[in-house]
Structure 1
Amino acid sequence: MLLHPAVTAQTPDSPAPLRVEATIAQRQPLIEEVPVAGTIHPLQQALLSTEVSGLVETIRADIGHRVKKGALLLVLDPELNSISRDAALAEVAQAREALADSRRRYRELQSLVSDQHIAETEVESLASEVRIRDAELQAAQVEAERQAALLRRHRIKAPFSGTISQRHVDVGEWVDPGTALFELVAADDLRADFQVPQRYFARIQTDTAIRVKLDDGTTLNTRVEHKVPVSRDSGRTFLLRTVITGKSDQTTELIPGMSATAVLQLQNDRHGVALPRDAVLRYPDGRVTVWIAEPDSRWGEPAKVVEQQVTTGLSFNGLIEIKTGVEEGQQVIVRGNESLQPDQTVLLQRARH
């Protein structure tokens, strides 16, 4: 490989130029990152109860069991309601027979009316009886359906798939409508809820990027589901609800109630120069500097560098805003800048992003 003349002109005792990586300062949209804390919640969480009174006969699920939607969880003693259901069915059969008899006699009377052997009022009276018997049959059928529905409610089933987190009853206990039986949590479909300062409400949109981390370092992919337009008086915050769409580490099991932190990335109307954080050096005396190649420096060729004091602003996505000290288009050292000296000669290489 041919070397640049400036390199070959060095004396044997001259040190070789330090190879450094640099990037070109560019203006770009600035993003404000807002850290928030929250909690993992299930999309569905229900305290299951019964609609009828009864004695607990069988329990089919216990704490920790994962159940599918429609799975049988508990059975109440159905004996009394079975008797009531059978009695209602007998009432239906009786009402059906009475209706059939009234209709038969009504048809017979109708055939006699044309021969003027019977008064029309008797026919109308029997027609009214048919209508009454028909209404009685319908009422009996409704009662039979009600008793059947009550009997079905002696079998408590899971309204959705999830995990039994609590069980409040045991076999032999008497329960009434509203008595808590189980707590069911949908542990597969989770959301992360955050309390966000109210001043950011208008800037959060459905496409706002959110990086969520758990205490063990697991990162989650989420999307904004709702931002609740109610501010808490105590903290001046509003609820931001996000749906978890995936996670980077599939070995970590998510549990409702886990704490989570997130960084909201909010679009900013401002544009400015932003550099990789590695380009910025901070000193104990408070100075913040970067190293810049002299103008007209070329990639792969020796160049002089100078240290420039800067002021910084927003940090986002591994970048930091440079408010003053760097102009757009300048070559800024991002790697190898820790040991540079003023007017040192370096060999510029384009940084790999």
Structure 2
Amino acid sequence: MNMPRTITCPYPLRAILLLAACLALPANAQDKAGAPVVVTTVQEQEVYRVLQLTGTVTSARSARLSPATSGLVSALQVDAGSRVEGGQLLLQMDDELAQLQARGAEAAVERANLALRDARRRLEEARTLAPQRSIAESVVKDIAAEVSQDEAALHEAEAEAGYRRGILQRHQLKAPFAGVISAKLTELGEWVSPGQPVLELVALDDVHLDFPVAEDYAAFIAVGAPMQFSITADPTTHHNGAVTTVVPVTDPNARTFLLRVQPTDPEQTFTPGTSVQGKLRLAAGRRAVVVPRDGIVRSPDGRIVVWTVDAADGGTVVRENVVTSGLSFDSLVEISSGLEPGARIVVRGNEALQNGQNVVIRQAGEG
């Protein structure tokens, strides 16, 4: 006869409960010890207002070039985007007639010169014969007058020749300074006249930054104030500059004035017309408690909270502080009320704290 078989459980119930308690122990122990946080001590310091500005790289020299005389464009040596040196030929006009006129003027100079030399020769001979009474004194005077007339004629011919050479030279348009051609406004075969822009030239070796600034800040900006800026197309690369000019003439419509900034790195080049983003720090004229931006917690109900740490019953607990914030600058936030200098505040681990909760202070970077 088979007897009922007794089955013995290798894991009694109490062992299972003990195992569960052991697995839950770290979380319970952590709750008892406190949530890990990183703290810092708040300080009182000078408060700054940071202006976020948008401006433009502007060349110190730019010119709309036009010819000095009228003519037909026969050659264009550059196009938009061409880099040129000072004195380089940019545009040539048809100068065939001007060359002929210049040659005619030079020939007139040569004729006047020959006539003057002949008159001087005859005058010298006449003065040699005059003491011998071989020639009348009046003839000598007539020849002397002729020499004077020939000298004047030579001067006139030389002036006309110089004028014609100048006209000929003005059939060429040369770069007044080094730079880049920003616009080509004419083409081959076009008739151009003085005052008519044919090319736009922009210098690259001397640029500055121009920012429109609200007139409210005009009184707070001083020449020499430092500025940090970046090219809009490359916002991660920061450059330094200094305010060189504050033009206190406001735009009556926009209520702005011009702020001019000079980059301080002479080796860095910037393309005129490029958009830039600038940050200008202005002293607010007061000292206040400031906290790192990470120490600010914004509640859904609109409150601004800073958590401070205090010692309690041999441990450390956090207290909720509703504060009023002011200006933000350099990753810091001004606290107008609700916090005293010297308080220790939580800057990491403050996302889900509760008032009076135990915490464990850790060093920054500690796991």
Give the TM bin, normalised by the shorter chain: 0.7 to 0.9
Query: Aligned residue for 2:327?
Result: 314
Give the counterpart letter for 1:287 in structure 2.
Answer: R
Distance 1:156 1:337 in 2: 70
Query: Aligned residue for 1:345?
Result: 359
SS of the equivalent of 1:140 reads helix
SS of the equivalent of 1:294 reads strand
Are 1:230 and 2:249 counterparts?
yes
Are 1:242 and 2:242 counterparts?
no
Query: Counterparts of 1:98-113 in structure 2 under 5 Å?
Result: 98-108=115-125
SS of the equivalent of 1:97 reads helix
Question: How many residue pairs end up in the alignment?
Answer: 334
Cα displacement (A) at 1:182? 2.0
Query: Aligned residue for 1:28?
Result: 45
Distance 1:124 1:146 in 2: 33
**Contact 1:220-1:246 at 8 Å conserved across structures:** no
Match among 109, 112, 118 for residue 92 of structure 1: 109
Cα displacement (A) at 1:214? 4.6
**Contact 1:189-1:244 at 8 Å conserved across structures:** no
Distance 1:322 1:64 in 2: 52
SS of the equivalent of 1:29 reads strand
Query: Aligned residue for 1:290?
Result: 306
Taking a change above 3 Å as real, the CA distance of residues 280 and 114 of structure 1, as seen in their structure-2 partners, is farther
Query: Aligned residue for 2:29?
Result: 14
Give the counterpart letter for 1:307 in structure 2.
Answer: E
Query: Aligned residue for 1:5?
Result: none
Taking a change above 3 Å as real, the CA distance of residues 279 and 131 of structure 1, as seen in their structure-2 partners, is farther
Give the counterpart letter for 1:345 in structure 2.
Answer: V
Distance 2:128 2:248 in 1: 75
Query: Aligned residue for 1:158?
Result: 175
Cα displacement (A) at 1:61? 1.7
Taking a change above 3 Å as real, the CA distance of residues 302 and 290 of structure 1, as seen in their structure-2 partners, is same
Distance 1:350 1:328 in 2: 21
Cα displacement (A) at 1:288? 1.0
Give the counterpart letter for 2:299 in structure 1.
Answer: Y
Cα displacement (A) at 1:289? 1.6
Cα displacement (A) at 1:246? 6.0
After superposition, the CA RMSD in angstroms is 3.6
Taking a change above 3 Å as real, the CA distance of residues 20 and 254 of structure 1, as seen in their structure-2 partners, is farther
Query: Aligned residue for 1:46?
Result: 63
**Contact 1:295-1:330 at 8 Å conserved across structures:** no
Instruction: Give the alignment's TM-score, normalised by structure 1.
Output: 0.79
Query: Aligned residue for 1:326?
Result: 339
Give the counterpart letter for 2:325 in structure 1.
Answer: T
Query: Aligned residue for 2:17?
Result: none
Larger Rg: 2
Taking a change above 3 Å as real, the CA distance of residues 255 and 230 of structure 1, as seen in their structure-2 partners, is closer
Cα displacement (A) at 1:82? 0.8
SS of the equivalent of 2:74 reads strand
Taking a change above 3 Å as real, the CA distance of residues 112 and 207 of structure 1, as seen in their structure-2 partners, is same
Cα displacement (A) at 1:200? 1.4
Are 1:140 and 2:157 counterparts?
yes
Give the counterpart letter for 1:100 in structure 2.
Answer: R
Cα displacement (A) at 1:312? 1.1
SS of the equivalent of 1:47 reads strand
Instruction: Give the alignment's TM-score, normalised by structure 2.
Output: 0.76
Identity of aligned residues (%): 38
Greater helix content: 2
Distance 2:67 2:77 in 1: 15
Deviations 1:143-196 (A, max 9, x none): 322222221221222223333333232222222222332223345654432221
Taking a change above 3 Å as real, the CA distance of residues 304 and 167 of structure 1, as seen in their structure-2 partners, is same
Cα displacement (A) at 1:313? 0.9
Distance 1:51 1:240 in 2: 36
Distance 1:342 1:215 in 2: 44
**Contact 1:69-1:158 at 8 Å conserved across structures:** yes
